[in-house]
Structure 1
Amino acid sequence: MAVSEAAVVLPSSVKADPGAAAATAATSVTRATVAAAATMGPEAQVSKAALATKLLSLSGVFAVHKPKGPTSAELLNRLKEKLLAEAGMPSLEWSKRKKQTLKIGHGGTLDSAARGVLVVGIGRGTKMLTSMLSGSKRYIATGELGKATDTLDSTGKVTEEKPYDKITQEDIESILQKFTGNIMQVPPLYSALKKDGQRLSTLMKRGEAVEAKPARPVTVYNISLQKFQPPFFTLDVECGGGFYIRSLVSDIGRELSSCATVLELTRTKQGPFTLEDHALPEDKWTIHDIAQSLELCASLLPAELALKKPKSEESHEQGLSCAYITLNEPKGDDDVTKTL
């Protein structure tokens, strides 16, 4: 899991005098907006400037609904661009600045093939994201018995096939206890974990030799079998930070003297945020809707959370990856300019 953070750039005067940040930001936003929208009428220009000022004032943590397809980083860029467009902040103009004031990031990477809750921090809320990494998460996962892939999910190449016809529902239920509590788990090779500063998944896609990371301690609070219709089975899993559902499903298949891979994966809960109650769909990715969501979500978090400092570099090595991405760069997990 990883926290990814992107920053929009502003004049250095905004950051140099925190006490006057709001006023300076408003002035800077107005200049950028007017320069890009010279053909707008006066009322439209004032409206855009007000929206930009409101965007810069947003701070806290909220949740969005990530669909299948994009990576978490790509989704973050999509969210960022929608907000900038609404506020009338042109990318070309803003990419020339040197200092960052608007920060937006996600806490807890979801695979591109997965959907569900993605926690987002904006402004000072990006400093809260490390706490989301270690919090509990809940997933609904559908696995397929008798088939293994190199990515441990349906996006990969089939590497093995084994019989599964003798496996019963009772067989699966009886072994789930082995995967409950404090256990050791080997992370998948295709993951956001890094070697020499590069993601393992990136190295694998390049065809480079990658050694599996050693097994590490993880926690499963609860796991239950929701449905079994061979070769498919559905699990409801509540776990702690750093846990990989793909590895769990693969390990279950191996424990049953067969193999298994993930077909569908949905994160239904991360920390206090649930998919049903808190995750904003894309049509709600507006400055107004996010401001409302920040107010609602503030009551879900402990009061002291906002005062926490970012964790040490040791935590970063375990899965915290913060990056500043300028607006004129290509998008993607690999296109980061600075890792903190």
Structure 2
Amino acid sequence: MLIKDAPVIWDSLRSIICVYKPPNVTCQRVRQTIITAVCTGLNEMECRPPMDYVSIEGNPSTQLTVTVKPNLADHPLVVGPRYQIEDLKCSWSNYLGLHSSGVLLLGLRNGTKAAKLIRENRPTRSYRVSGRFGEATENGFKNEKVVERSTYKHIKHANINKLLAAMQASHQKEMFKSCGVDLQSQTAYEMACEGPIRPADSKLPVIYGIKCVQFEPPDFVIEIQCINEYETYLKSLIHEIGAKLRSTAHCTGIQCIRHSYFTLENALLRKHWTLQHIITNMEECIAIIDEHENLVKQKKAALQ
């Protein structure tokens, strides 16, 4: 059953939503679009009527009359729509660059606290980053001028996998080294069993896993599990792969396929950015969070 009472919907906005950010659209633009969609949907519903205006008229020494009538100063035609864009707080939990697409978490109203909590916990994220061998561009992305060309036919799938495995091992070694732990020690094993190790520096990108999932020369796609990454770093990673394979490469696309517990299956497409779909998605996100919190509690109870 659909709720048509705008105040009830407004009070229910207290969690996060998961949307799919298109490429070449800023996070700020996505945020504004979501806020506008929510406010427009609420204003189309049954909003509260204007507050009554109580008027006391007459001579105090003889008789007073009390009349109650609608307060025109509170009418939507005078003060504007009941729900204004400035009234709805909205913040993102993970930031995606201009050329990136994929999973984007947004907190609405009280949900901004949940978005901040997820952001501060620094969960791992997964990306599919596509690249093309044989050409290097000015900024490492496909939309810029080509500054260098090279051969790539000597590159095989096995060469890429070998390089990516070495890069992953190097990042893991640096993680344990920064914690002052020997990679071959029992302490390192126990730390790895507890989950991904977070670097002390929140600005230091760390790769937990990287592999090539598609190779059709000159195009290739790698899947990365990482933390503290940013768009420029992912572009430079493609450039580095090309250089280490004695060629050149530039990035052709970046897609975030997972953020924390949320994947592409949970993300709202652009055509579904309407109030009803947003409310439904918020309920699904709450269920996902509750499910994983229960799993964590069960795991801790089993260890005790």
Relative to the length of structure 2, the TM-score reads: 0.64
Q: Which amino acid aligns with 1:66?
A: K
- Return the alpha-carbon distance in structure 2 between the equivalents of residues 132 and 260 of structure 1: 34
SS at match of 1:300: helix
Q: Confirm or deny that 1:253 pairs with 2:242.
A: yes
Q: Do 2:93 and 2:115's aligned partners in 1 also have CA atoms closer than 8 Å?
A: yes
Q: 1:314 matched to which residue of 2?
A: none
* Secondary structure, counterpart of 2:115 in structure 1: helix
The answer to whether the 8 Å contact 2:133/2:219 transfers is: yes
Q: For residues 173 and 140 of structure 2, what CA distance do their matches in structure 1 show? A: 19
- Establish whether residue 108 from structure 1 lines up as the match of residue 94 from structure 2: yes
Q: Corresponding residue for 1:264? A: 253
Q: Indicate the residue corresponding to 1:151 in structure 2.
A: 139
Contact 1:182–1:217, Cα closer than 8 Å, also in 2: no
Report the counterpart of residue 26 of structure 2 in structure 1. 71
Query: 1:17 — aligned with what?
Result: none
For 2:81 and 2:123, the matched residues in 1 are separated by: 35
State whether structure 2 residue 228 is matched by structure 1 residue 241: yes
1:293-339 residue CA offsets vs partner (Å, 9 max, x unmatched): 2222123336999xxxxxxxxxxxxxxxxxxxxxxxxxxxxxxxxxx
267-276 or 254-263, larger mean C-alpha shift:
254-263
The answer to whether the 8 A contact 1:116-1:268 is kept is: yes
Q: Distance in 2 between matches of 1:304 and 1:262?
A: 34
Cα distance change on mapping 1:66 and 1:170 into 2, 3 Å:
same
CA distance in 2, matches of 1:183, 1:284: 43
Q: Which residue of 2 aligns with 1:197?
A: none
Contact 2:15–2:112 (CA under 8 A) maintained in structure 1: yes
Counterpart-to-counterpart distance in 2, 1:163 and 1:93: 63
Change (3 A) 1:177 1:63: same
What is the CA-CA distance between 1:100 and the residue it aligns to? 5.9
- Give the match for residue 225 of structure 1: 212
* 8 Å Cα contact 1:113/1:155 also seen in 2: no
- Cα distance in structure 2, aligned partners of 1:55 and 1:147: 51
Deviation, 1:266, is 1.6
Aligned residues: 224
Summarize the alignment of residues 34-113 of structure 1 with structure 2, pairs less than 5 Å apart: 50-51=5-6, 54-88=9-43, 93=80, 101-113=87-99
The residue identity in structure 1 corresponding to 2:276 is H
Please report the TM-score for the alignment, with normalisation by the length of structure 1: 0.58
Q: Please give the alpha-carbon distance, in whole angstroms, between the structure 1 residues aligned to 2:272 and 2:219.
A: 34
- Is residue 159 of structure 2 the alignment partner of residue 171 of structure 1? yes
Shift in CA distance, 108/157, structure 1 to aligned 2, threshold 3 Å: farther
Change (3 A) 1:156 1:280: same
1:302-313 alignment, distance < 5 Å: none
Cα offset for 1:226? 1.2
Query: 2:284 aligns to what?
Result: 296
Q: Give the Cα separation in 2 of the matches to 1:159 and 1:285.
A: 40
Q: Deviations over 1:98-149 (max 9, x none)?
A: x965211222222333321111111122123234442111111211012222
CA contact (8 A) 1:152 1:262 kept: yes
How far residue 252 of structure 1 moved from its aligned partner, in angstroms, is: 1.0
The RMSD of aligned alpha carbons is: 3.2
Aligned letter for 2:98? Answer: S
Structure 1 stretches of 4+ moved >6 Å: 302-305
Offset of 1:93 from its aligned partner?
A: 4.3
Q: Does 1:120 align with 2:106?
A: yes
Distance 1:112 1:71, change over 3 A: same
Point out the structure with max Rg over C-alpha. 2
Gapped runs of 5+ residues in structure 1? 1-46, 185-215, 306-340
CA gap 1:52/1:85 in 2 versus in 1, 3 angstroms:
farther
User: Does structure 1 conserve the Cα–Cα contact (< 8 Å) formed by 2:164 and 2:210?
Assistant: yes
Percent identical = 25
Letter of the 1:299 partner, please give it.
A
| Contact 1:140–1:268 (CA under 8 A) maintained in structure 2 | yes
Unaligned ranges ≥5, structure 2: 45-75, 175-202, 294-304
Alignment-mate amino acid for residue 142 of structure 1: S
In the alignment, the residues of structure 2 paired with residue 171 and residue 218 of structure 1 have an alpha-carbon distance, to the nearest angstrom, of 24
